[in-house]
Structure 1
């Protein structure tokens, strides 16, 4: 059995300040000498960048629909192994997930699987006795869910927070933050911008920690987390291999940094030496047997990417040797012929896939998808299935001769489409795939790279 103090910081909806509370609480706990393991429910890449800054530890995604219960338990226990406490930020509202009629993919599902007490963040601005109705709903909608307290955000004063506590009948108010527009994190698309140092200075994160120490009952939070029951030890805890099977270079800089940490951890545990490089700043890719181009914001750095002719030539040389190249979303864009930005300017990209990408000012795709491959590739035989997520503001026009290796089924409406653009050993897709949904894919990719050792 594994005894890990833990709790879920959930919300009634998006935009109630979950990430702000997570950041402030994480730093406040670290000031007490505690090592904090952080997690994010759902397929989000942005909030984890804040958790990483706050905890100085890698943040892991936990997604019930994509990963399944066994992988959730294994990832959570592995990443929490040496921590004093684990904090898990929810996604959207507490009960929101892959379906409006089931708990699949929701924060509530993760809390139940991990037997983790839940603190629910509420926008309490302009509210008093109504908080009691919210409390009643939280306690009775799914009675087996361990809701342990409320965080009442956007309160007008300490007196307002005390008034809310007086209105409640069972749950404690363990904290709450006032509105501070001067300390708000920058936003882009559907959520926060990434927590890059130049965009979010450390002093801004520390200021939220100062407020958490003033407005939260941290001792009560530690007591709630410490009362979480022991978990059965996960069976699939793989140890680090004794030898290196292959080297995979992966893009990591301002333009490319959206990876599921669990995917990278699986590669390492199966014997891969992962070598980061920057398509913006470096002149060549490292010596490697495979190439992994993750998601990100290549449109924000299109000029720098297009002007780095040495890097473009280096990747072309890599491709000419027939080594596997895998690109997701931003990585797919980089693999294409060109990218047209929102100002209408066209930037040359790698040109390894015959595609032309156009950025849009409105969302083009969002949501869970299930993939079934239609032909053999380094991911596996035809008929290989896995799950992932789409989130994009661009469209792509691909030359009709390209192989479309994926049949996509959207989770929400079961709509079918074709995607997954393959040319030889080059494969690119808008889908952010999570290999916990089919661990054999990770092994297949490694074996394809091993052939070039």
Structure 2
């Protein structure tokens, strides 16, 4: 393994190819401990002095927050549909030039979804590390690992990592159950101090877990005691040219445009790649907190991403200065893009899971209600006048409005539920979380000057 000061290994083969050890960390199902295992591996490699880059398969905001804390670097998405294959190859190739090891956390079960984590592994040539919750299991552990490896021809399962191991003897039984050609990456013990707390949309945000660093260090220590095997180098080829509409438009159409992006406990669900696209388009990106900032920024455009407004509804409602600022912004014909939780902050009222209705900022006629069951989930695209953008939806809130939507999203999944899209002047609001790299030209039109 090269030291942190050595250049990346140039692969023998096509010009520009780079080799870097890499793993896609997956599991039989959600809830098996993929994030904990990926974070433990990332932190352990960092502690060995290695440069680690971590990616997350598919749409997700919460897992990447933990993985960023574990690795010390922003975590980007790898999604064959939202971003496209060329986009994914470009991200991996760029990372391989800077990293000593690349980790990719999968989504759901290894073979779940379309595209699945297995599809990503096969397409990009990534070996798989299977994480299996071994609680109440012995030799069946090996059978499950073998099934994951053999279900899809051509899939390379490099090894297995056990989660929630009960004892040293338990770990030995699990290791002995594996096929001889399948590596043992060790196991994480059944220890609440390693687990990451959750709430209704998934993991609790990393910044809200007071002892997150101690949990990560403890997980890395537990894994390091077993000396997990190193992944084999993967050859990453120079990426092909990005297809339309994924290419950046010529020049910097947002040069001189100040885009203020909400970021605090209530608004944290933003893809790092979205901010990268805004900056690449020339925008000056400034983060601000609707919850805490006494002075609000001068902005030509606003971006209110999703998050947990329902947990901070009363505090948001009390920010009458933010409400007036937003209303003046929209009245002046300036762009405001609001996604999911960002939209819920703009409506007339929101009723949390527990408690009474809270009046919100009232820029968009409607009432929101938090539901105990998931309301909608899936990959969607939306055809806007500015262009087609891709993204995803995942929410426990329902919204009723007397207004007629300007359109609806198109679910990728058969029989998926479309989402309403609301437009008022330059205000765009929906439950859809947009993935800006899917169409930078459309993003430039959404946030750029001019009255729609």
Q: Which runs of 5+ in 2 are unaligned?
A: 1-16
**What is residue 151 of structure 1 aligned with on the other side?**
161
Q: Quick one: distance in 2 between partners of 1:417 and 1:299?
A: 23
1:355 is aligned to 366
- On the 8 A contact 2:264/2:289 being kept in 1, the answer is yes
In the alignment, which of 122, 127, 142 is matched to residue 132 of structure 2?
Answer: 122
Cα-Cα RMSD:
2.3
- The residue correspondences of 1:38-49 to structure 2 (distance < 5 A) are 38-49=54-65
Paired position in structure 2 for 1:437: 438
**Secondary structure, in 3 states, of the residue corresponding to 2:43?**
helix
The answer to whether 1:300 aligns with 2:333 is no
Q: Which of these residues, 86, 89, 97, is aligned with residue 70 of structure 1?
A: 86
CA-to-aligned-CA distance 1:206-248 (integer Å, 9 cap, x gap): 1111111113x23x22xx24x2223234544979988934211
Question: Offset of 1:151 from its aligned partner?
Answer: 0.6
- Verify the 8 A CA contact 1:248 1:291 in the aligned structure 2: yes
Instruction: Report deviation, 1:198.
Output: 4.3
How has the CA–CA distance of structure 1 residues 42 and 347 changed in structure 2, closer, same or farther, with 3 Å as cutoff? Answer: same
Structure 2 partner of 1:255: 266
TM-score by length of 2: 0.89
Shift of 1:74: 1.9
Match of 2:398 in 1: 395
Measured after TM superposition, the shift of residue 418 of structure 1 is 5.7
Deviations 1:10-37 (A, max 9, x none): 1111111111111111111111112211
Structure 1 residue 415: deviation in Å? Answer: 4.7
* 3-state SS, counterpart of residue 188 of structure 2: coil
Count how many residue pairs are aligned between Structure 1 and Structure 2: 429
Name which of 32, 50, 66 aligns with 1:16. 32
SS at structure 1 position matched to 2:265: coil
Counterpart CA distance in 1 for 2:43 and 2:417 is 44
> What are the superposed Cα offsets for residues 320-352 of structure 1, whole Å, 9 maximum, x if unpaired?
211000000011111212212223422222211
1:95 aligns with 2:111: yes
**Residue 280 of structure 1: how far off its partner (Å):** 0.3
CA contact (8 A) 2:18 2:96 kept: no
Shift in Å, 1:190: 4.9
Q: Structure 1 residues 79, 338: closer, same or farther in 2, change over 3 A? A: farther
Structure 2 counterparts to residues 211-230 of structure 1, below 5 A: 211-215=222-226, 217-218=227-228, 220-221=229-230, 224-225=231-232, 227-230=233-236
Q: 1:27 to 1:267 in 2, by over 3 A?
A: same
Output the CA distance in 1 between the equivalents of 2:177 and 2:44.
Answer: 28
Contact 1:282 1:311 in 2 (8 A): no
SS in 2 for 1:176: strand
For the Cα contact (< 8 Å) 1:421–1:429, is it kept in 2? yes
- Is residue 328 of structure 1 aligned with residue 339 of structure 2? yes
Equivalence for 2:11: none
| CA 1:308–1:178: 2 relative to 1, 3 Å | same
Q: Which structure 1 segments of 5+ residues have no match?
A: 99-103
Aligned to 1:101: none
Instruction: Report if the CA contact (8 A) 2:93-2:236 is conserved.
Output: no
Q: Check if 1:316 corresponds to 2:322.
A: no
User: Does the CA-based 8 Å contact 1:337-1:351 persist in structure 2?
Assistant: yes
How many angstroms apart in 2 are the aligned matches of 1:416 and 1:66?
A: 18
Does structure 2 retain, via aligned residues, the 8 Å contact 1:10–1:93?
yes
Structure 1's 416 and 46: CA in aligned 2 closer, same or farther, altered over 3 A? closer
Using the alignment, how far apart are the partners of 1:372 and 1:241 within structure 2?
A: 24
Distance 1:58 1:139 in 2: 30
Partner of residue 293, structure 2 = 282
Within 1, Cα distance between the matches of 2:108 and 2:348? Answer: 36
SS of match in other structure, 1:327:
strand
Q: 1:79 to 1:426 in 2, by over 3 A?
A: farther
Give per-residue Cα distances to partners, 1:67-109, cap 9 Å, x unaligned: 22111112333455422221111111111123xxxxx1x1112
Between the aligned partners of 1:153 and 1:394, the Cα distance in structure 2 is 33
Q: Which residue of 2 aligns with 1:5?
A: 21
TM-score (norm 1): 0.88
1:401-431 deviation line (CA, Å, top 9, x unaligned): x4x1232233333356461111111110001
Q: Does 1:385 align with 2:401?
A: no
